[in-house]
Amino acid sequence: MKNTIAALALTTLAAAASAQTAAAPAGLSYNRIGFTRTSQKGLTNQNVLSVSSLLGSSNFLAFAENRTDHGTALGLGYVFKNVAVGIDAAVTVSADNEWQSNSSIYSLGLRRSLSEVFAGLEVAIGYSTQSTALSAGTNRVLSYELSYNINKQYTVAYGIQDIRKGLLNGSAEKIQNVSVRYNF
């Protein structure tokens, strides 16, 4: 009887574990198309359409982002997978033609799956600097994001960007983002 109960318990645990891993993708997906809606206090909301993909079977990342009122950003980067404790680190460089200012953006992003806490949960933090020809300083952006992989194809996310403007005005703003992504 003890063996039957132990076998039944192990079978139930194995079935539950396989059901949880089927709900969330294995590893972090970098091949995705996204739609993001941003909101800023006192300003017009903005829509962002983005696409990113690892090039072939390499860790080189190519991406593009189109904002409704700021133009297009194109970039390249490299993803260092599983740097420490399941964290992926991505270093990227992009060019943005925002309002004809032709800015350069340098970024470092960290992502980690939190499937051990809740299947499909993911967290990301990032830091970027943006220098433009028109401003007398560099904008610095610290971003935070919590996302949930509904299944292998679809992800929803909520993020916050803390933007510190250039040296002249020294102002700060917070932008909230809600995203829907399709992983391919």
Instruction: Say what the pTM is.
Output: 0.78
- Residue 87 exposed, middle or buried by CB count within 10 Å (0-12, 13-18, 19+): middle
pLDDT in tens, 2-29: 444 444 444 443 444 444 444 444 579 9
* Residue in the block written with tokens 């970024």: 107
Integer angstrom CA distances of residue 181 from 35, 151, 154, 165: 6, 11, 6, 28
How many alpha carbons lie under 13 Å from residue 141 in its C-beta half-sphere?
19
Q: CA-CA distances (angstroms) from residue 80 to 41, 55, 86?
A: 35, 14, 11
Q: Provide the Cα torsion 68, 94, 110, 140; round to 10°.
A: -80
| Cβ neighbour number for residue 47 with a 10 Å cutoff | 12
Q: What is the pLDDT of residue 164?
A: 86
Please state, in angstroms and rounded to a whole number, the distance separating the CA atoms of residues 3 and 69. Answer: 66
The encoded tokens of residue 118 equal 């809740």
Which of 158, 145, 156 has its CA nearest to residue 181? 156
Give the model's pLDDT for residue 25: 43
Q: Give the pLDDT confidence of 59-92 residue by residue, as tens digits.
A: 999 999 998 766 788 999 999 999 999 999 999 9
